[in-house]
Amino acid sequence: MNFQIKSIEEYNAAYQKSVEKPEEFWAEIAENFQWKKKWDKVLDWNFKEPKIEWFKGAKLNITENCLDRHLKDKADQPAIIWEANDPTEHHRVLTYKQLHQKVCLFSNVLKNNGVKKGDRVCIYMPMVPELAIAVLACARIGAIHSVVFGGFSAQSIADRINDAQCEMVITSDGGFRGPKDIPLKNVIDDALVQCCSVKTVIVLTRTRTPISMIKGRDKWWEDEIKKVETLGLIDCPAEEMDAEDELFILYTSGSTGKPKGVVHTTAGYMVYTAYTFQNVFQYQPNDVYFCTADIGWITGHSYIIYGPLAQGATTLMFEGVPTYPDAGRFWDIVDKFKVNVLYTAPTAIRSLMQSGLDYVKDKDLSSLKVLGSVGEPINEEAWNWYNENIGKGKCPIVDTWWQTETGGIMISPLANIIKTKPCFATLPLPGVQLMLVDEKGDEIKGNGVSGNLCITFPWPGMLRTTYGDHERCRQTYFATYENKYFTGDGCMRDEDGYYRITGRVDDVINVSGHRIGTAEVENAINMFTDVVESAVVGYPHEIKGQGIYAYVILNKESDDEELTRKDISMTVSRIIGAIARPEKIQFVKGLPKTRSGKIMRRILRKIAEGDVANLGDTSTLLDPTVVEDIKNNKI
């Protein structure tokens, strides 16, 4: 691989070149891919509109880079290893040749059902290889996939399907997650009551849960495959895509309004995920790489599917959860498949840490070479536990900071090249130009400082727009500070110039690495019949990183507070999904508001954190007595 960085000197040189001659830098990297036509211009940009175009004029298909080009020398190498939720169910291995065949067949299923280039396809599936196949088949024919995480409710799915006007939904009868069966198709049926754009639903058989199949709309995956096989539609030429054609939409929460559809395009995303995958994990041929994320999130898109497959890696996909059948499941998988690279989330580490070392002690983890962390700040205790008990002190931990919007990893050590430091994402990757700014947007220079994290120059993997609403993209990311992309994260730069992400500075809560907007949760709570008003904040949670704390005003006193809490929780589950249910609900008589009617979240956050001694000045409140009431009734 021509773009593999092998030493700190090479990192320094690459970084310097990426800043001084960004176009030349990325063009050289892009030479390593398969293009149907090369670009006319490497980069065209401004952050004002914003307009970002990478590899303008180039033609390609990302699946030719992820599949076809590996057939020459890697046809029989495993592309995907799949481990089922139930450890007694046989695992599956798909070689590059087999994966290619399956993607081609399913691409023909899509075409046979009228899906065309540019159409949007919603995918709501469990973590089975067919999910990856569905994603890649969309990319092969130029359809735009919108994967929705299996934990979202019917209402959330409907909102996403309607926003993108999806023509098709791909789902399964159900999904296995730990001891539970999730009735995915039933949820889709509930969602589709509200969606007129969907013409076809393809349903994979997984759990054999009884489901309704509607004539003319719903079709079994297996039958559709047989149909194209009978028609002899085995191969499927890859659609020629423009570098900037949309590859996928992925919905994510912000501080205001409904989730927005972050749009990623083809060439830049491909180059960036492949480059970062290779360099951060220092992937070596034949390594087994295991990312524990769900494909419903960006980590799964970029670092289970696209990045690893673009690099011809063996990527391991796990259907279940870390604690089923017991808290040793990850270590069993590492042992069973001799995993070399493990990429997981702090919340999983904390939960396994709490289960104790009995689950680790008899497992052979000697195959591990590199450990990764993603999704939220990793606390020192979890970092040390991961390092000592899993990495046995010999595996570098790459603490990777990035976002749905960045497409790929932005700040991270390169394994064995950049010296790690607990809780620090360390240094920016080549091509990533960071700046810390104060509230006014002025740069905070030097080391040993903290500020809001911005990015001042485009990188190939960045979002291009938010689906159907470019102005919202501008407002959210490019309007806070002029000519800068604002991440929403706070960050410190220490004496060594190392970066440490301190968490969101906006009203986004990070629960177990899942991004949840406070406004979204408040809107859901406010739908409950007896609720007058609510305010939601995050508070430190031992395992989840942050938990959701809701302050709720009811229009009448509840005669059974516990039941009302459960009702409210159920309402949030219905509207958003179980992942957004508040951990704590406190009924209050009033909320602390300024004279202009703005809720003072700072105070609510402090109380939720249990830091009632440092509430600061409350004299400017409309009614300072509400604070006393809230403090006295804290749960």
Q: Which residues bind ligand WTA (CB under 6 A)?
A: 252, 297-299, 374-377, 399-404, 425, 487-489, 501, 503-504, 510, 515
State the minimum distance, in angstroms, from the CB of residue 169 to ligand WTA. 23
**Rounded to the nearest whole angstrom, what is the least distance from the CB of residue 524 to ligand WTA in the complex?**
19
Phi-psi region of 178 (alpha: psi -120 to 50; beta: other; left: phi over 0): left
Question: Which residue number, 145 or 504, has a Cβ lying nearer to ligand WTA?
Answer: 504
**What is the nearest approach in angstroms of ligand WTA to the Cβ of residue 310?**
18
Residues 6 or more apart from 65 whose CB is under 8 A from it?
Answer: 33, 34, 270, 274, 310
In angstroms, rounded to a whole number, what is the distance separating the alpha carbons of residues 382 and 363? Answer: 19
Copy the structure tokens of residue 196.
């007129």
CB atoms within 10 A of CB 324: 16
Listed in sequence order, the residues at least 6 apart from 95 whose beta carbon sits closer than 8 Å to its beta carbon are: 75, 76, 77, 78, 79
CB closer to ligand WTA out of 67 and 455:
455
Phi-psi group of 208: left, alpha or beta (phi > 0 → left; psi -120 to 50 → alpha; rest → beta): left
Q: How many residues does the chain have?
A: 635
User: Please, are residues 287 and 313 in contact by the beta-carbon 8 Å criterion?
Assistant: yes
Nearest residue (CB) to ligand WTA, 22 versus 254: 254
Of 123 and 382, CB closest to ligand WTA: 382
Report the distance separating Cα 484 and Cα 47, nearest Å: 7
Structure tokens at 58: 């180039």
302: left (phi over 0), alpha (psi -120 to 50) or beta: alpha
- Separation CA 134–CA 140 (nearest Å): 10
CA-CA distance, 248 to 264, in Å (whole number)?
6
Whose Cβ is closer to ligand WTA: residue 290's or residue 587's? Answer: 290
Structure tokens of 109? 């299923």
Instruction: Identify which of residues 124 and 383 has a Cβ nearer to ligand WTA in the complex.
Output: 383
Closer residue to ligand WTA, CB minimum distance, 402 or 539 = 402
Please name the amino acid found at residue 23: E
CA angle 548, 580, 468 (to 5 degrees): 120
User: What are the angstrom distances between the C-alpha of 507 and each of 318, 386, 473, 496, 553?
Assistant: 32, 30, 17, 30, 20
**Could you give the CA distance from residue 526 to residue 258 in angstroms, rounded to a whole number?**
14
Closest approach of Cβ 629 to ligand WTA, in Å? 32
In angstroms, give the least distance from the CB of 516 to ligand WTA: 10
In this complex, which beta carbon is closest to ligand WTA, that of residue 515 or of residue 544?
Answer: 515
Which of 410, 385, 388 has its CA nearest to residue 399? Answer: 410
Q: Which is nearer to ligand WTA, 297 or 587 (CB)?
A: 297
| Shortest separation between residue 297's beta carbon and ligand WTA, angstroms | 6
Nearest approach, Cβ of 403 to ligand WTA (angstroms)? 4
Minimum gap (Å) between residue 489 Cβ and ligand WTA: 5
Complex with ligand WTA: residue 259 or 328, whichever CB lies closer: 259
Q: Least Å distance between CB 521 and ligand WTA?
A: 16
> Based on CB atoms, which residue is closest to ligand WTA, 493 or 515?
515
Q: How far is the CB of 510 from ligand WTA (least distance, A)?
A: 6
From the CB of 594, what's the least distance to ligand WTA, in Å? 27
Cis (ω within 30 of 0) for the bond into 325?
yes
